[in-house]
Structure 1
């Protein structure tokens, strides 16, 4: 069974399909004949919805602006009721919260705080995030906006006036109608390809995505993520994973860098989709970790065979 067949089977057994790419950090650019250098994957160049994985680019742009002296990371921001989107961090607070820009970045990455991400996006500018993607050669990466923009399209498309009405209407909507939501369509929302996401991670980990201090900040913040049910679930305790999740109805996503004790580092991006539109599927989340481990072990074995 080929590596691609093995990866497909992991997700098929979990009731899902996926697009995936894994590559050694520090590897040569994709396109070489050596699979251990160009990486391994399934559908690595197909468009995928990236959901909250876009926050890696957002926080990278913030860190670059701080390094350039364009932003003061200690600048204070008030998160009010109008800013709340529901969910983790300040997004779920009942009262107004004041914190710094750098703490907005922390909550954006550590708990995927949507309110924090929106306020950070407003401060750094959506156009600069788009320009950053172009600068880094992520030509197939599209950023349409932050979490509020994605939510706005979902509300409009189901005819809901606010989040509460959406939550009430959502369970009664036919699955086919929900699958047509623009938030689930890579041609109409924040999107990229698995290979471009691992390229982004490789650039950050090699200090090639901006000033070294900016790249280091992104690495540290990805290492602070609290969610441990996807990529990290497939690896033993001595392996360290710094990652960012993404979740939407029927979409289970995570991208990150896996650090082995021997110094090996591997960027992995996994985008799993299920026929049902649940956001919680433990079997699929576990499959993300299993598939990531299989892909990384394949790369490590290829390197060993070549004496790398």
Structure 2
């Protein structure tokens, strides 16, 4: 049974996982692999797919100029990849903010882009697309500020000193790890979003095409990609928080088969890097897609 194999794969990696996989073409209820697909989970940086889609829709509607320049200053840095980790101020366009937000999961770029398109418009977009159980409470800065407040730190430097000393049960109570208090939604909502983007049903075709192109340029290859042969292409977005490892994307086979997959794993150890769990994300996605292909879906 495919669901049992998926559970065993996650357990072998020391994790619990939920997954939803469905063909992009055809009716959404024609066939699927669902393991906890309706459970609410923290979506972390997978949220950036919805953010960039809203940006692309506003560009297509003539509401934003993608060439508009934005300066990323020290006050904007949130740590991590891209402009979020730069030592000096940088200036770039809105469309390059979108590129960095998806390709390297740049938190500063995502936060500035969210401020420009408007947080409320992203929430309204989720409603418009029928992502009825997806909750958007804020962007990367909101996540960071909630963590600082709950740990009692004035800034990131103090957080870096305080957080490691906290007992694990205290760490697990942070709101960023609770799907009832942060950006969250079930895997089924995420695959619905991906299907709509790939079918040009999430907005103007040029907006959907831009999101697909940006997701195809993501640099991280250690999760979904690790489970598939080299001739299979994957456009995806990762998300990571302590003890949470996830990726959602669309798998394309040489014969044209397209499959939307969303995989979310949780570990007891609150580490941000777990090679075995990353590999299990790719392996379980492969098990699910192989099942769909064998079923002719």
Q: TM-score range by the shorter chain?
A: over 0.9
Alpha-carbon separation, structure 1, partners of 2:157 and 2:34: 39
Are residues 1:108 and 2:107 paired? no
- Match of residue 41, structure 1, among 34, 42, 48: 34
**Structure 2 partner of 1:224:** 217
Give matches, 1:126-205, under 5 Å.
126-205=119-198
Alpha-carbon separation, structure 2, partners of 1:244 and 1:27: 23
Give matches, 1:43-62, under 5 Å.
43-62=36-55
Q: Deviations over 1:124-147 (max 9, x none)?
A: 000000000000000000000000
TM-score by length of 1: 0.96
Mark the runs of 5 or more structure 2 residues left unpaired by the alignment: none
Are residues 1:249 and 2:249 paired? no
Q: What is the CA RMSD across the aligned residues, in angstroms?
A: 0.6
Give matches, 1:88-99, under 5 Å.
88-99=81-92
**Structure 1 partner of 2:3:** 4
Mark the runs of 5 or more structure 1 residues left unpaired by the alignment: 31-36
8 A Cα contact 1:200 1:209, kept in partner: yes
8 A Cα contact 1:117 1:146, kept in partner: yes
Q: Deviations over 1:72-115 (max 9, x none)?
A: 00000000000000000000000000000000000000000000
**Structure 1 partner of 2:12:** 13
Alpha-carbon separation, structure 2, partners of 1:241 and 1:288: 13
TM-score by length of 2: 0.99
Give aligned pairs, total: 297
Deviation at 1:4, TM superposition (A): 0.7
Deviation above 3 Å: which 4+ runs of structure 1?
none
User: What's the secondary structure of 1:20's corresponding residue?
Assistant: strand
**Structure 2 partner of 1:26:** 25
User: What's the secondary structure of 1:271's corresponding residue?
Assistant: strand
